[in-house]
A = this chain, B = another copy of it.
Amino acid sequence: MTASSPRSRRATIIDVARAASVSRQTVSNAVNTPERVAPDTLARVQSEIERLGYQPSRAAQTLKQERAGAWGIELNSAGVGRLGAVLDTFLVELTAGAAAHGSHVVPFTAPDPLQPIPAYERFVASRVADGFVLTDTRNNDPRPAWLEAHHVPYAAFGRVWDDPSITSWVDVDGAAGIEAAVRHLADQGYERIGYLGWPEGSPVGDDRRSGWTRATVDLGLAHPEWEARTPQVLDAASSAAAGLLDALGPGGALVCASDTLALGAWRVLVARGLEPGRDVGVVGFDDTDIAQALDLSSLHQPLDRVADRVLHVLGARSASRDPAGGLLLPPELVVRSSSKPAGDRTTPKEK
């Protein structure tokens, strides 16, 4: 007997959703809150549930009966061995916020971050957590579908990119942030505004980039060739930034998908004897220690509000209410000397 044998495999929520031509959420509603489903849809779903012999997961049923008062959160889901500045602050906010709601947070790691499901399965089976907070959502992320199929409550910090019908997430509007950075630089008098971003295909990166496209087109400053793409690695970022800065020339400005990329650009500027904000404008993303240390303007994510809304979505889902998620919060632009007003830019350096 193999796991893929159709005869031995138990029907999942996905099988029911396909057979009834509805979303997983609708199947879930038909099981948990049938009064909220249109009568003909409910009849169709219930008929498929019976035909396929679908049974909501026992683990999820048990969870409903005996609450642990805890939310699991996978650490190291990006496989880099640490949280990093954004998720570090998010975890502290989430921990403090959970306590205020009478619950707590239980971190765990998947031995293989590329195959995370067994770790979630173990946590559900051992009833350590009532549900999960997801971070680092990505394309082909297996976690939301698995959690939906097993009726396990969850909320994501980050959009569920693969399935727009799933709305149990809270995210920061990267495109709006980058757009604000472009408009800020234009307000300072910059006319050649390039974008230093990540390789195509990362949903977070593609979203941030769209803010640059939108704002430069809108402002009549669009030059699609003023773009360079680089992985989130400092030396590669410096190389990419060097070429882009050659194209932009002095008096140009760079909006970057992260503070690491901004640091790559900053290193090139300093090596060339140029000063960020006086000679070339630079804006980063995430407002990390690096941005603060090097006086780089950067976009700050409102992590206290993200944590609060994630807990709200989780609470609603675990009570089988509409999560009211799919919420985008704008980041805040923190202006530092790397994107000085135009008047200051031509002033000779004093110190």
Q: Give chain A's interface residues, CB within 8 Å of chain B.
A: 70, 75-76, 81-85, 88-89, 91-93, 95-96, 99, 104-109, 128, 234, 260, 263, 270-271, 288-290, 292-293, 351
Residues of B within 8 A of A85 (CB): 82
> A270-B270, A289-B290 provided; 14 other pairs, C-beta below 8 A?
A75-B95, A76-B92, A82-B88, A83-B83, A83-B88, A91-B107, A95-B107, A104-B106, A104-B108, A104-B128, A106-B106, A271-B351, A290-B290, A290-B293
Number of copies: 2
Say how far A98's CB is from chain B's closest CB, in angstroms. Answer: 9
Say how far A276's CB is from chain B's closest CB, in angstroms. Answer: 13
Residues of B within 8 A of A290 (CB): 289-290, 293
| Cα distance, A83 to B75, chains bound together (Å) | 14
B89 contacts A81, C-beta separation under 8 Å:
yes
| Cα distance, A310 to B108, chains bound together (Å) | 17
Given A83-B92, A88-B84, A92-B81, also A106-B105 (CB < 8 A): yes
Ranked nearest first, the 5 interchain pairs of A and B with the lowest CB-CB distance are A96-B109, A82-B89, A95-B107, A82-B88, A83-B88
| Cα distance, A263 to B288, chains bound together (Å) | 15
B75 contacts A91, C-beta separation under 8 Å:
yes
Say how far A178's CB is from chain B's closest CB, in angstroms. Answer: 22
| Cα distance, A264 to B82, chains bound together (Å) | 25
- From B75, B76, B263, B293, contact of A234 by CB (8 A): B293
Given A75-B91, A89-B81, A290-B293, also A107-B108 (CB < 8 A): no
A95 contacts B83, C-beta separation under 8 Å:
no
